[in-house]
Amino acid sequence: MFIPVIFSFLVKRISPRAGFASLVMSAFTVAGTMAYGGMTHKADFALGGNWPIMFGIAIGLISYLLVTLLDKTRITPNAGGEGETAEAVHRAW
């Protein structure tokens, strides 16, 4: 969940499909890495280990970037209140 949230703050036009793909791929990666750690009894890969999170962030970043490059449907997120676009909020500052 880290990558889509960070990119939604940093990138002006985002791809919702890329965010969804990143969430799904990260979740499967973290779950798979924890399952591997549980089966092999390696503490670093099991529940509470650092490796599942690191692998999840890496796969989330890779999948987000790949889907963003392939998907041409991008939107401007609603950065303000009702109906305000990011440009309108940016101009107000």
pLDDT tens track for 10-33: 877 778 888 899 999 999 999 999
Residue 77 in contact with residue 10, Cβ under 8 Å?
Answer: no
C-alpha–C-alpha distance, residues 60 and 67, integer Å: 11
Q: In the structure, what pLDDT confidence band is assigned to residue 93 with cuts at 50, 70 and 90?
A: very low
Q: Tell me the domain boundaries of the chain.
A: 2-91
pLDDT tens track for 66-83: 998 898 877 776 655 555
DSSP state of 74: -
* Sign of the torsion formed by the C-alpha atoms of 78, 83, 84 and 86: positive
Which amino acid, 87?
Answer: E
C-alpha–C-alpha distance, residues 56 and 27, integer Å: 7
